[in-house]
Protein backbone atom coordinates (compact mmCIF):
# COMPACT_ATOMS: atom_id res chain seq x y z
CA UNK A 1 0.00 0.00 0.00
CA UNK A 2 1.31 3.45 -0.85
CA UNK A 3 -0.24 5.99 1.47
CA UNK A 4 -0.82 9.58 0.45
CA UNK A 5 -3.25 9.77 3.35
CA UNK A 6 -1.50 10.46 6.65
CA UNK A 7 -0.21 13.86 7.72
CA UNK A 8 2.73 12.27 9.47
CA UNK A 9 6.43 13.14 9.40
CA UNK A 10 8.45 10.74 7.26
CA UNK A 11 9.89 7.98 9.50
CA UNK A 12 13.19 8.12 7.57
CA UNK A 13 13.54 11.84 8.34
CA UNK A 14 13.08 11.69 12.10
CA UNK A 15 16.43 12.41 13.77
CA UNK A 16 16.52 9.17 15.75
CA UNK A 17 20.24 9.55 16.44
CA UNK A 18 19.81 13.04 17.89
CA UNK A 19 16.76 11.98 19.88
CA UNK A 20 18.63 8.97 21.25
CA UNK A 21 21.48 11.23 22.38
CA UNK A 22 18.98 13.64 23.97
CA UNK A 23 17.20 10.73 25.70
CA UNK A 24 20.48 9.38 27.12
CA UNK A 25 21.39 12.86 28.26
CA UNK A 26 18.00 13.30 29.95
CA UNK A 27 18.25 9.96 31.73
CA UNK A 28 21.80 10.60 32.93
CA UNK A 29 21.58 14.28 33.76
CA UNK A 30 18.12 14.66 35.26
CA UNK A 31 17.14 11.32 36.85
CA UNK A 32 15.55 13.05 39.84
CA UNK A 33 13.27 15.03 37.55
CA UNK A 34 12.40 12.91 34.56
CA UNK A 35 10.59 10.19 36.52
CA UNK A 36 8.77 12.65 38.76
CA UNK A 37 5.52 14.63 38.53
CA UNK A 38 6.15 18.04 37.04
CA UNK A 39 4.60 21.49 36.74
CA UNK A 40 1.40 21.84 34.73
CA UNK A 41 2.80 24.76 32.74
CA UNK A 42 5.82 22.68 31.70
CA UNK A 43 9.48 22.34 32.60
CA UNK A 44 11.24 25.69 32.79
CA UNK A 45 14.17 24.22 30.86
CA UNK A 46 12.00 23.38 27.84
CA UNK A 47 10.02 26.61 28.01
CA UNK A 48 13.28 28.57 27.76
CA UNK A 49 14.29 26.56 24.70
CA UNK A 50 10.88 27.09 23.08
CA UNK A 51 11.14 30.83 23.75
CA UNK A 52 14.47 30.92 21.88
CA UNK A 53 12.99 28.84 19.06
CA UNK A 54 10.06 31.25 18.72
CA UNK A 55 12.42 34.12 17.93
CA UNK A 56 12.86 32.56 14.48
CA UNK A 57 9.10 33.03 13.97
CA UNK A 58 9.49 36.64 14.96
CA UNK A 59 7.73 36.08 18.29
CA UNK A 60 9.50 37.39 21.38
CA UNK A 61 7.98 35.79 24.43
CA UNK A 62 9.04 35.18 28.02
CA UNK A 63 9.37 31.47 28.93
CA UNK A 64 6.82 32.11 31.70
CA UNK A 65 4.19 32.89 29.09
CA UNK A 66 4.57 29.56 27.30
CA UNK A 67 2.29 26.69 28.27
CA UNK A 68 3.66 23.27 27.30
CA UNK A 69 0.90 20.94 26.10
CA UNK A 70 0.50 17.28 25.23
CA UNK A 71 0.66 17.90 21.50
CA UNK A 72 -0.93 20.94 19.92
CA UNK A 73 -4.14 18.92 19.84
CA UNK A 74 -4.39 19.34 23.61
CA UNK A 75 -3.83 23.07 23.25
CA UNK A 76 -6.87 23.23 20.94
CA UNK A 77 -8.86 21.20 23.44
CA UNK A 78 -8.01 23.33 26.46
CA UNK A 79 -8.78 26.50 24.50
CA UNK A 80 -12.18 25.08 23.56
CA UNK A 81 -12.91 23.92 27.12
CA UNK A 82 -11.89 27.27 28.55
CA UNK A 83 -13.60 29.66 26.19
CA UNK A 84 -16.55 27.86 24.63
CA UNK A 85 -19.98 27.23 26.04
CA UNK A 86 -22.72 25.15 24.46
CA UNK A 87 -24.06 26.95 21.38
CA UNK A 88 -21.17 29.42 21.00
CA UNK A 89 -20.09 30.25 17.47
CA UNK A 90 -16.62 29.55 16.10
CA UNK A 91 -15.50 30.82 12.71
CA UNK A 92 -13.42 28.35 10.69
CA UNK A 93 -11.94 28.30 7.22
CA UNK A 94 -13.68 25.93 4.83
CA UNK A 95 -12.15 23.35 4.53
CA UNK A 96 -10.12 23.07 7.73
CA UNK A 97 -8.34 20.66 10.09
CA UNK A 98 -10.69 17.81 10.89
CA UNK A 99 -9.64 17.25 14.51
CA UNK A 100 -10.17 20.95 15.30
CA UNK A 101 -13.73 20.61 14.04
CA UNK A 102 -14.10 17.60 16.34
CA UNK A 103 -12.81 19.61 19.32
CA UNK A 104 -15.27 22.44 18.70
CA UNK A 105 -18.06 19.92 18.22
CA UNK A 106 -17.23 18.19 21.52
CA UNK A 107 -17.37 21.58 23.24
CA UNK A 108 -20.93 21.99 21.92
CA UNK A 109 -19.98 24.94 19.72
CA UNK A 110 -21.42 25.75 16.29
CA UNK A 111 -18.79 26.06 13.60
CA UNK A 112 -19.50 28.75 11.05
CA UNK A 113 -17.49 28.20 7.90
CA UNK A 114 -16.14 30.82 5.54
CA UNK A 115 -14.83 29.86 2.12
CA UNK A 116 -11.28 30.53 1.11
CA UNK A 117 -10.82 30.10 -2.64
CA UNK A 118 -8.14 31.10 -5.14
CA UNK A 119 -9.26 34.73 -4.81
CA UNK A 120 -8.74 34.55 -1.04
CA UNK A 121 -11.16 35.36 1.74
CA UNK A 122 -14.51 36.90 0.97
CA UNK A 123 -14.58 39.62 3.64
CA UNK A 124 -18.07 40.79 2.68
CA UNK A 125 -19.34 37.33 3.62
CA UNK A 126 -17.29 37.38 6.82
CA UNK A 127 -18.83 40.69 7.83
CA UNK A 128 -22.33 39.41 7.17
CA UNK A 129 -21.63 36.28 9.26
CA UNK A 130 -20.41 38.43 12.16
CA UNK A 131 -23.36 40.80 11.83
CA UNK A 132 -25.84 37.95 12.39
CA UNK A 133 -24.40 36.48 15.59
CA UNK A 134 -21.83 36.93 18.33
CA UNK A 135 -18.69 35.02 17.33
CA UNK A 136 -16.40 33.96 20.15
CA UNK A 137 -13.44 32.33 18.40
CA UNK A 138 -11.89 32.26 14.98
CA UNK A 139 -9.71 29.20 14.22
CA UNK A 140 -7.02 29.59 11.55
CA UNK A 141 -4.11 27.52 10.22
CA UNK A 142 -2.31 30.37 8.46
CA UNK A 143 0.78 28.49 7.25
CA UNK A 144 0.51 25.58 4.77
CA UNK A 145 -2.89 24.66 6.07
CA UNK A 146 -4.10 21.17 6.73
CA UNK A 147 -5.77 20.20 4.40
CA UNK A 148 -5.35 22.81 1.63
CA UNK A 149 -1.67 23.71 1.98
CA UNK A 150 -2.70 27.35 1.60
CA UNK A 151 -0.81 30.18 3.31
CA UNK A 152 -2.66 33.34 4.25
CA UNK A 153 -0.94 36.33 2.64
CA UNK A 154 0.09 39.25 4.83
CA UNK A 155 -2.71 41.54 3.64
CA UNK A 156 -5.35 38.93 4.56
CA UNK A 157 -3.74 38.41 7.97
CA UNK A 158 -3.87 42.15 8.62
CA UNK A 159 -7.52 42.29 7.57
CA UNK A 160 -8.40 39.25 9.69
CA UNK A 161 -6.80 40.73 12.81
CA UNK A 162 -8.55 44.05 12.22
CA UNK A 163 -11.86 42.19 11.71
CA UNK A 164 -11.32 40.18 14.93
CA UNK A 165 -10.56 43.30 16.95
CA UNK A 166 -13.62 45.10 15.61
CA UNK A 167 -15.92 42.19 16.46
CA UNK A 168 -14.14 41.24 19.69
CA UNK A 169 -13.28 37.73 18.43
CA UNK A 170 -10.42 35.70 19.93
CA UNK A 171 -8.13 34.25 17.22
CA UNK A 172 -6.69 30.74 17.62
CA UNK A 173 -3.61 30.59 15.41
CA UNK A 174 -2.69 26.92 14.88
CA UNK A 175 0.80 26.72 13.40
CA UNK A 176 2.28 23.20 13.49
CA UNK A 177 3.78 23.51 9.98
CA UNK A 178 5.28 27.01 10.25
CA UNK A 179 8.89 25.75 10.37
CA UNK A 180 8.46 23.81 7.14
CA UNK A 181 8.61 26.49 4.45
CA UNK A 182 10.15 25.44 1.10
CA UNK A 183 9.50 28.48 -1.10
CA UNK A 184 8.66 32.13 -0.71
CA UNK A 185 9.17 34.41 2.25
CA UNK A 186 8.15 34.07 5.87
CA UNK A 187 4.86 35.84 6.61
CA UNK A 188 4.40 37.42 10.02
CA UNK A 189 2.19 35.49 12.44
CA UNK A 190 -1.24 36.78 13.42
CA UNK A 191 0.12 36.90 16.97
CA UNK A 192 2.85 39.31 15.93
CA UNK A 193 0.61 41.36 13.65
CA UNK A 194 -1.92 41.88 16.46
CA UNK A 195 0.82 43.00 18.82
CA UNK A 196 2.92 45.13 16.48
CA UNK A 197 0.46 46.59 14.00
CA UNK A 198 -2.61 46.87 16.23
CA UNK A 199 -1.02 47.16 19.64
CA UNK A 200 -3.32 44.38 20.81
CA UNK A 201 -1.92 41.80 23.24
CA UNK A 202 -5.24 40.08 23.96
CA UNK A 203 -6.38 38.95 20.57
CA UNK A 204 -4.40 35.86 19.53
CA UNK A 205 -3.59 32.49 21.09
CA UNK A 206 -0.62 31.04 19.22
CA UNK A 207 -0.26 27.25 19.14
CA UNK A 208 2.53 25.09 17.73
CA UNK A 209 4.05 21.63 18.02
CA UNK A 210 7.15 19.47 17.85
CA UNK A 211 5.16 16.76 16.04
CA UNK A 212 6.09 17.74 12.50
CA UNK A 213 9.70 18.73 13.10
CA UNK A 214 10.94 16.47 15.91
CA UNK A 215 8.70 13.48 16.67
CA UNK A 216 4.93 13.22 17.19
CA UNK A 217 5.47 10.37 19.66
CA UNK A 218 6.90 12.85 22.16
CA UNK A 219 3.39 14.37 22.27
CA UNK A 220 4.63 17.89 22.85
CA UNK A 221 3.17 21.15 21.71
CA UNK A 222 2.88 24.60 23.19
CA UNK A 223 0.55 27.48 23.47
CA UNK A 224 1.24 31.20 23.87
CA UNK A 225 -1.93 32.83 25.14
CA UNK A 226 -2.48 36.46 26.07
CA UNK A 227 -1.16 36.87 29.62
CA UNK A 228 -4.56 37.10 31.29
CA UNK A 229 -5.62 33.75 29.80
CA UNK A 230 -2.56 31.83 30.93
CA UNK A 231 -3.89 30.65 34.28
CA UNK A 232 -7.37 29.62 33.11
CA UNK A 233 -5.76 27.56 30.33
CA UNK A 234 -3.25 26.09 32.75
CA UNK A 235 -6.10 25.06 35.09
CA UNK A 236 -7.94 23.40 32.20
CA UNK A 237 -4.82 21.45 31.32
CA UNK A 238 -4.32 20.46 34.95
CA UNK A 239 -7.77 18.89 35.04
CA UNK A 240 -6.94 16.90 31.92
CA UNK A 241 -3.51 15.40 32.56
CA UNK A 242 -1.75 17.32 35.40
CA UNK A 243 1.21 17.89 33.09
CA UNK A 244 2.82 16.67 29.87
CA UNK A 245 5.38 13.86 30.06
CA UNK A 246 8.41 15.06 32.00
CA UNK A 247 10.67 12.62 30.18
CA UNK A 248 9.47 13.88 26.77
CA UNK A 249 10.01 17.47 27.85
CA UNK A 250 13.59 16.79 28.89
CA UNK A 251 14.26 14.90 25.66
CA UNK A 252 12.92 17.79 23.57
CA UNK A 253 14.71 20.32 25.77
CA UNK A 254 18.10 18.62 25.46
CA UNK A 255 17.54 18.11 21.74
CA UNK A 256 16.92 21.84 21.25
CA UNK A 257 19.84 22.74 23.49
CA UNK A 258 22.15 20.50 21.43
CA UNK A 259 21.55 22.87 18.48
CA UNK A 260 20.63 20.03 16.11
CA UNK A 261 17.19 21.41 15.22
CA UNK A 262 18.49 24.02 12.75
CA UNK A 263 20.32 21.45 10.68
CA UNK A 264 17.44 19.01 10.93
CA UNK A 265 15.05 21.69 9.67
CA UNK A 266 17.35 22.37 6.70
CA UNK A 267 17.37 18.66 5.88
CA UNK A 268 13.59 18.30 6.32
CA UNK A 269 12.88 21.29 4.11
CA UNK A 270 15.13 19.99 1.33
CA UNK A 271 13.67 16.48 1.46
CA UNK A 272 10.01 17.53 1.70
CA UNK A 273 10.44 20.10 -1.07
CA UNK A 274 11.80 17.44 -3.40
CA UNK A 275 8.97 15.05 -2.41
CA UNK A 276 6.40 17.75 -3.10
CA UNK A 277 7.96 18.56 -6.48
CA UNK A 278 8.24 14.90 -7.49
CA UNK A 279 4.57 14.30 -6.70
CA UNK A 280 3.50 17.39 -8.65
CA UNK A 281 5.64 16.30 -11.60
CA UNK A 282 4.17 12.78 -11.53
CA UNK A 283 0.64 14.22 -11.43
CA UNK A 284 1.39 16.47 -14.39
CA UNK A 285 2.75 13.46 -16.29
CA UNK A 286 0.17 10.79 -15.48
CA UNK A 287 -2.93 12.85 -14.72
CA UNK A 288 -2.79 15.78 -17.14
CA UNK A 289 -5.90 17.94 -16.84
CA UNK A 290 -7.47 15.57 -14.29
CA UNK A 291 -6.66 17.32 -11.02
CA UNK A 292 -6.75 21.04 -10.27
CA UNK A 293 -3.96 21.38 -7.73
CA UNK A 294 -3.02 23.87 -5.02
CA UNK A 295 0.74 24.05 -4.82
CA UNK A 296 1.75 24.76 -1.22
CA UNK A 297 4.84 26.74 -0.23
CA UNK A 298 5.48 24.35 2.67
CA UNK A 299 3.94 21.78 4.97
CA UNK A 300 2.87 18.31 3.91
CA UNK A 301 -0.22 18.54 1.74
CA UNK A 302 -1.33 18.97 -1.84
CA UNK A 303 -5.01 19.78 -2.19
CA UNK A 304 -6.80 18.98 -5.41
CA UNK A 305 -10.15 18.57 -7.02
CA UNK A 306 -11.14 16.39 -9.94
CA UNK A 307 -11.81 18.77 -12.80
CA UNK A 308 -14.58 16.52 -14.15
CA UNK A 309 -16.35 16.48 -10.77
CA UNK A 310 -15.57 12.81 -10.00
CA UNK A 311 -16.57 11.72 -6.46
CA UNK A 312 -13.33 11.26 -4.49
CA UNK A 313 -14.87 8.56 -2.25
CA UNK A 314 -15.60 6.40 -5.30
CA UNK A 315 -12.04 6.93 -6.51
CA UNK A 316 -10.74 5.95 -3.08
CA UNK A 317 -12.64 2.64 -3.25
CA UNK A 318 -10.82 1.80 -6.50
CA UNK A 319 -7.55 3.22 -5.19
CA UNK A 320 -7.58 0.91 -2.18
CA UNK A 321 -7.92 -2.11 -4.42
CA UNK A 322 -4.88 -0.86 -6.35
CA UNK A 323 -2.86 -0.33 -3.16
CA UNK A 324 -2.79 3.42 -2.98
CA UNK A 325 -4.72 5.63 -0.57
CA UNK A 326 -5.52 9.29 0.05
CA UNK A 327 -8.09 11.24 2.04
CA UNK A 328 -11.25 12.45 0.29
CA UNK A 329 -11.54 16.17 0.96
CA UNK A 330 -15.13 15.96 2.20
CA UNK A 331 -13.99 15.11 5.74
CA UNK A 332 -12.49 18.58 6.18
CA UNK A 333 -15.72 20.49 5.65
CA UNK A 334 -18.04 21.66 8.38
CA UNK A 335 -20.66 22.74 5.83
CA UNK A 336 -21.53 21.34 2.40
CA UNK A 337 -18.48 19.42 1.20
CA UNK A 338 -16.89 19.50 -2.22
CA UNK A 339 -17.13 15.76 -2.97
CA UNK A 340 -14.54 15.89 -5.72
CA UNK A 341 -11.81 17.34 -3.51
CA UNK A 342 -8.86 15.27 -2.25
CA UNK A 343 -5.91 15.71 0.11
CA UNK A 344 -2.61 14.16 -0.90
CA UNK A 345 0.17 14.03 1.65
CA UNK A 346 3.66 14.00 0.14
CA UNK A 347 5.67 13.73 3.37
CA UNK A 348 6.28 9.98 3.20
CA UNK A 349 6.39 9.67 -0.61
CA UNK A 350 10.02 9.59 -1.69
CA UNK A 351 10.64 10.90 -5.23
CA UNK A 352 11.26 7.33 -6.43
CA UNK A 353 7.80 6.29 -5.15
CA UNK A 354 5.88 9.27 -6.54
CA UNK A 355 5.58 7.88 -10.08
CA UNK A 356 4.22 4.55 -8.90
CA UNK A 357 1.78 6.21 -6.49
CA UNK A 358 0.34 8.43 -9.22
CA UNK A 359 0.24 5.62 -11.80
CA UNK A 360 -1.91 3.60 -9.38
CA UNK A 361 -4.06 6.65 -8.77
CA UNK A 362 -4.48 7.13 -12.52
CA UNK A 363 -5.72 3.52 -12.88
CA UNK A 364 -8.16 4.03 -10.00
CA UNK A 365 -9.52 7.19 -11.63
CA UNK A 366 -9.87 5.46 -14.98
CA UNK A 367 -11.74 2.55 -13.35
CA UNK A 368 -14.09 4.94 -11.54
CA UNK A 369 -14.83 6.76 -14.78
CA UNK A 370 -15.52 3.47 -16.57
CA UNK A 371 -17.88 2.33 -13.79
CA UNK A 372 -19.70 5.66 -13.90
CA UNK A 373 -20.06 5.45 -17.67
CA UNK A 374 -21.67 2.01 -17.29
CA UNK A 375 -24.31 3.25 -14.85
Chain residues in the site for ligand PMP (CB under 6 A): 7, 71-73, 97, 141, 146, 174, 176, 209, 211, 216, 221
Minimum distance from CB of 333 to ligand PMP (Å)?
A: 15
Q: Is there a contact between 74 and 240 (Cβ–Cβ < 8 Å)? A: yes
Q: Is there a contact between 337 and 295 (Cβ–Cβ < 8 Å)? A: no
Minimum distance from CB of 202 to ligand PMP (Å)?
A: 23
* CA-to-CA dists, residue 210 to 131, 189, 215, angstroms: 38, 18, 6
Give the Cα separation of 299 and 50 in Å (integer). 20
Task: Compare residues 18 and 147 and give the one whose CB is closer to ligand PMP.
Answer: 147
Q: Is there a contact between 233 and 1 (Cβ–Cβ < 8 Å)? A: no
Residue 374 CB partners (closer than 8 Å, separation 6+): none
Task: Compare residues 45 and 222 and give the one whose CB is closer to ligand PMP.
Answer: 222
Give the Cα separation of 141 and 218 in Å (integer). 22
Minimum distance from CB of 216 to ligand PMP (Å)?
A: 5
Minimum distance from CB of 176 to ligand PMP (Å)?
A: 5
Give the Cα separation of 297 and 300 in Å (integer). 10
Q: Is there a contact between 205 and 171 (Cβ–Cβ < 8 Å)? A: yes
- Please name every residue paired with 303 in a beta bridge, in sequence order, or none if there are none: 294, 343
Q: Strand ranges (DSSP E) for the chain?
A: 2-3, 67-69, 89-94, 110-117, 120-121, 135-140, 170-174, 204-209, 221-224, 291-294, 301-306, 324-325, 327-328, 341-345
Task: Compare residues 176 and 296 and give the one whose CB is closer to ligand PMP.
Answer: 176
- Please name every residue paired with 344 in a beta bridge, in sequence order, or none if there are none: 302
Query: Strand pairing of 2-3 and 120-121?
Result: unpaired
Minimum distance from CB of 79 to ligand PMP (Å)?
A: 12
Task: Compare residues 251 and 364 and give the one whose CB is closer to ligand PMP.
Answer: 251
Task: Compare residues 163 and 301 and give the one whose CB is closer to ligand PMP.
Answer: 301
Minimum distance from CB of 196 to ligand PMP (Å)?
A: 24
Minimum distance from CB of 228 to ligand PMP (Å)?
A: 24
Query: Strand pairing of 135-140 and 327-328?
Result: unpaired
Task: Compare residues 7 and 298 and give the one whose CB is closer to ligand PMP.
Answer: 7
Minimum distance from CB of 258 to ligand PMP (Å)?
A: 21
- Tell me the residue number closest to ligand PMP, measured at CB: 71
Q: Is there a contact between 91 and 131 (Cβ–Cβ < 8 Å)? A: no
Task: Compare residues 250 and 301 and give the one whose CB is closer to ligand PMP.
Answer: 301
Q: Is there a contact between 291 and 343 (Cβ–Cβ < 8 Å)? A: no
Task: Compare residues 176 and 298 and give the one whose CB is closer to ligand PMP.
Answer: 176
Minimum distance from CB of 251 to ligand PMP (Å)?
A: 15
Bond before 134 cis per omega within 30 degrees: no
Task: Compare residues 71 and 253 and give the one whose CB is closer to ligand PMP.
Answer: 71
Amino acid sequence: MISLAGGIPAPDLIDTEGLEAATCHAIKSAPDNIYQYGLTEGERFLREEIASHMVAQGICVEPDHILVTTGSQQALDIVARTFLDEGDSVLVEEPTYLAALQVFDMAGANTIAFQVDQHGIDFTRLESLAAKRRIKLMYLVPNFSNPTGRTLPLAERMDLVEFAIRHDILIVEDDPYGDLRYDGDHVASLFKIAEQSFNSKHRVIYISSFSKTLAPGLRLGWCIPPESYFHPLCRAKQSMDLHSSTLSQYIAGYYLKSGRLDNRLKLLKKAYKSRRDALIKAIAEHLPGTLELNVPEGGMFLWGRFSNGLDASLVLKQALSHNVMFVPGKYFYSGTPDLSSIRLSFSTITPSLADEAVKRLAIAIQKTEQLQAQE
